Amino acid sequence: MTPYEYAKTKIGTKEIAGDVDNPDIVEFHATTTLKATDDETSWCSSFVNWCVVQAGLRGTNSAAARSWLTWGHETKEPKEGDIVVFKRGNPPSGHVAFFVKKEGNLIHVLGGNQSDQVKVSAYNAEDLLSYRRVL
């Protein structure tokens, strides 16, 4: 399976309110050097790392979304399943997810920590930093 196919198997995975943490999200964090043990810590990069590792590839090992800016090869023509890195706030903040489609000025991506869950969400194309081709 590809990283994107692994991502699709986790659609609907959500943070758990309160003191209990979703063990799937904690497992995503285990693929980074941060190794957070809760589901409140930002986990978009942990999710992408988990999907990449499940597919037998090497991720960035980082919980920072912008760590994906140097991973793989940049492409200007994304295809479904490529990795997308967005800016958010000041560096090193950002968001990372898998490309689904582009419609007008919106880029639809499948990612983790999107409204506290794994789902497809749309982001403004003005916030795009890079499309990265999955190796």
Per-residue pLDDT 10s for the chain (135 aa) are: 999 999 999 999 999 999 999 999 999 999 999 999 999 999 999 999 999 999 999 999 999 999 999 999 999 999 999 999 999 987 778 999 999 999 999 999 999 999 999 999 999 999 999 999 976
Q: Who contacts 7 (Cβ-Cβ below 8 Å, separation ≥6)?
A: 47, 48, 51, 98, 110, 111, 118
pTM equals 0.96
C-beta separation of 95 from 123 below 8 A: yes
Look up tokens 């968001």; give the residue: 95
Strands (E), 2-118: 73-75, 83-87, 94-103, 106-111
Task: Catalogue all structural domains in the chain, each as residue range(s) with its CATH number.
Answer: 3-133 (3.90.1720)
Cis, bond preceding 92 (omega within 30 deg of 0): yes
* CA distance linking residue 16 with residue 48, whole number of Å: 20
Q: Is 92 helix (H, G, I), strand (E, B) or coil?
A: coil
